[in-house]
Amino acid sequence: MFEAERNPNNYNASSVTTETKDLGCACLNPYIPIKTKILDIIQETTSDSQDVKTFILSPAKPISFEPGQFVELTVSGVGEAPFGFASSPIVEDTIQLCIKRTGYVTDNLHRLRPGDIVYLRGPYGNSFPIKEMEGHDIFYVAGGLGLAPLRPMIELIFLPENRQKYGNIKMLLAARSTKDFLFKYDYERWSNYPDTDLLLTIDNPEPEWDGLVGFPNNLVHDISFDIQNTYAVLCGPPVMIKALSDAFVKMGIPKNRIYTTLEMRMTCGIGKCGKCNIGHKYVCVDGPVFSMEELDNMPGEY
């Protein structure tokens, strides 16, 4: 039989490819982004030291996500970088990303205007275990831009149908100065929700400032809350996360009730490019949300 088939025309290349996939389809190609229009840009900070803007975006196809997840944003002709979602997950047609002008991609993004086009792909990563937190108090601590990735969870839990499932809510929001607070337009609404305390702190005293002064890890000792019944949710610079979680642990919050979300350089978002791992865990798929119990068993490579 084999002999009979000895004819060079008896084969063709397509018969050896098991499947010819159309990689133009986003369902088969996780690297394909969605065309997205910038609807509006909100200037958040007014200080000279940092420039943070919130970009209100309208993707051509809605992107549904869970609080804590992130998206890869492309500035055309420049490059791509990962950003945590910063808006309520129940609003699907528009997405907000709160972004500091820091590097090459963000610098070019900050030059864009409403009406300009960017590209998004995602969502990626895991999310905050909000179901597990039901029946408990929640203590949010955000340092600077760390408030952005917490905002989807904050907004979701404040929804009337969800609010009753949780106990008291404390929010300690830290900024370098009064000019560096983000989402200031939300604070009054947030603090008016039932059983909610919103505290603000800045690094150094300023005239006419009646809020707190100092780093969150030094302040949490003086804030009264039910240690036995609280989930702490933190985000900020790595130094703050480390010092603050130490403070909470010393106060007696179990490590499996302290959650944070990490930032890493991430090219692919799908666990292939090899940049974001901490030990054998990949922040882009196993994270970015981790409990302190998990982080404690991982090397401090962040």
Q: Which stretch binds other proteins (CB under 8 A): 37-45, 167-175, 215-223, 261-269?
A: 261-269
DSSP secondary structure code for residue 55 in this structure: E
Q: What is the dihedral sign for C-alpha 223, 162, 58, 120?
A: positive
| Per-residue binder mask for other proteins (CB under 8 A), 82-121, x = binder | --------------------xxxxx----------x-x--
Residue number, 24 or 252, with CB nearest to other proteins:
24
CA distance 119 to 214: 39
| Per-residue binder mask for other proteins (CB under 8 A), 8-47, x = binder | x-xxxx--xxxxxx-xx---xxxxxx-x------------
CA distance 51 to 107: 10
Cβ 63 to other proteins, closest distance in Å? Answer: 16
If phi > 0 it is left, if psi is from -120 to 50 it is alpha, else beta; for residue 115 that is: left
Is-contact 213 205, C-beta < 8 A? yes
CA distance 281 to 302: 12
Query: Would you state the structure tokens that stand for residue 29, as one six-digit string?
Result: 């190609």
282 beta partners: 277
Cβ 156 to other proteins, closest distance in Å? Answer: 24
Nearest alpha carbon to residue 79 among 46, 107, 44: 107
Total residue length of the chain = 302
Residue 251, exposed/middle/buried by CB under 10 A (0-12, 13-18, 19+)?
middle
Please tell me the count of residues contacting other proteins according to CB under 8 A: 64
CA distance 185 to 214: 23
Cβ 107 to other proteins, closest distance in Å? Answer: 9
CA distance 31 to 37: 19
Residue number, 226 or 301, with CB nearest to other proteins:
301
Cβ 61 to other proteins, closest distance in Å? Answer: 12
Residue number, 2 or 185, with CB nearest to other proteins:
2
- Interface residue with other proteins among 58, 179, 273, 294 (CB under 8 A) is 273
**Residue 265 in contact with other proteins, rule: CB under 8 A:** yes
102 beta partners: none
**Residue 293 in contact with other proteins, rule: CB under 8 A:** no
| Per-residue binder mask for other proteins (CB under 8 A), 49-88, x = binder | -------------------------x-xxxxxx-------
Cβ 237 to other proteins, closest distance in Å? Answer: 8
- Interface residue with other proteins among 258, 278, 289, 292 (CB under 8 A) is 278
Site for other proteins in 201-240 (CB under 8 A): 238
Side-chain-side CA neighbours of residue 19 (13 Å)? 4
Residue number, 61 or 221, with CB nearest to other proteins:
61
The enclosing H or E element of 201 equals: strand 196-202
Residues that bind other proteins (CB under 8 A): 2-3, 5-8, 10-13, 16-21, 23-24, 28-33, 35, 74, 76-81, 102-106, 117, 119, 238, 263-265, 267-268, 270-280, 282, 285, 297-302
